[in-house]
Structure 1
């Protein structure tokens, strides 16, 4: 498969960017719930000195946007909900829409049904960006449990984004993905 094959592009006339944005919006919302669900059996934060660490979205709101997430809680079904979870939906929307747009042009991003994208995002976001912003320690400082949680959560997250992307794109366009020839028996 050579390195240059990673950047092969689809034929421009086959790209459906508007549909990619629409599908990415739906995939972003639904996959945010999948990511949260993965964090139930595999919590991403460890307990240090008897208390849980703050998560990066909480710190991002507090330190970069000046929003105190603890002062903006709401109640649903008698549960106190911290709206920091809204940042997870926003991040999920951004990544899902971005992924769906990129998939229209560079089909290799879909490698392993989106699993490779999930691994790459884990490394770039949790391994590089979040530590650089001071929102978490460097990867070398994190416990193994956090690696497992983030990698498994991101793999499921992007796998679901890809399943939704492919199904909805193909249903809406009545065509296979842009890299598949229209006369292919593998539609």
Structure 2
């Protein structure tokens, strides 16, 4: 596959941005729970080597937004809920809405049923951006199981977003994705 194929665009009249936005919200919320669930068997932090750092969402809230997550807690069903969890939902909403909107224009973003987007998000955010913001150590300072956990978790996360996106888009519009001809038997 050539690089220029990643920038092939769909016909503007086939794009449904309002539907993509609506589906992005739904898939963002649901996929946040999938990402949390993936962290049970594949914990993203080992705290090995004597490290005792907080997770990147906690540090982002504290260092960049001035919110101390340990002070901004609330209770639900006798459990203490930390706003870091809300941050995960906001991140999930942001990425899912962006993904669904981009998928309307650039169909190659859906490569491998969204798995490629999960790989790109992991590399860009967790392996480059978060270390550059000093929210985590550089990749060389993290045990391999931590970045493998993030990679697999993000692949599952984006795969879930894509499955929800495609199903709901096709049900709502009663049409295949914009790059698929309307008369195609492969809908």
Question: Normalising to structure 1: TM-score of the pair?
Answer: 0.97
Give 2:81's aligned residue.
81
CA distance in 1: counterparts of 2:166 and 2:96, whole angstroms = 12
Name the structure 1 match of 2:151: 151
Distance 1:2 1:38 in 2: 33
Partner of 2:183: 183
SS at match of 1:72: coil
Instruction: Measure the CA separation in 2 of the matches of 1:137 and 1:53.
Output: 9
Tell me the equivalent position of 2:103: 103
Q: Tell me what 1:55 maps to.
A: 55
1:117 correspondence with 2:117: yes
Unaligned runs of 5+ in 2: none
Q: Distance in 2 between matches of 1:178 and 1:83?
A: 38
Deviations 1:73-130 (A, max 9, x none): 1122222121111000000000000000000000000000000000000000001111
May I ask how many residue pairs the two structures share in their alignment? 187
Conservation of the 8 A alpha-carbon contact between 1:46 and 1:53: no
Equivalent-residue separation in structure 1 for 2:114 and 2:79 (angstroms): 34
Q: CA deviation at 1:170?
A: 0.4
Taking a change above 3 Å as real, the CA distance of residues 79 and 49 of structure 1, as seen in their structure-2 partners, is farther
Mark the runs of 5 or more structure 1 residues left unpaired by the alignment. Answer: none
State the 1:139 CA deviation: 1.0
What is the alpha-carbon distance in structure 1 between the residues aligned to residue 63 and residue 52 of structure 2? 18
How many Å apart are 1:53 and its aligned residue? 2.9
SS at match of 2:113: coil
Contact 1:32 1:88 in 2 (8 A): yes
Is it true that 1:23 corresponds to 2:29 in the alignment? no
In the TM superposition, what whole-angstrom CA distance separates every residue of 1:131-187 from its partner, at most 9, and x where no partner exists? 111101111111111112101100000000000000000000000000000000111
C-alpha RMSD over aligned residues: 1.2
TM-score (norm 2): 0.97
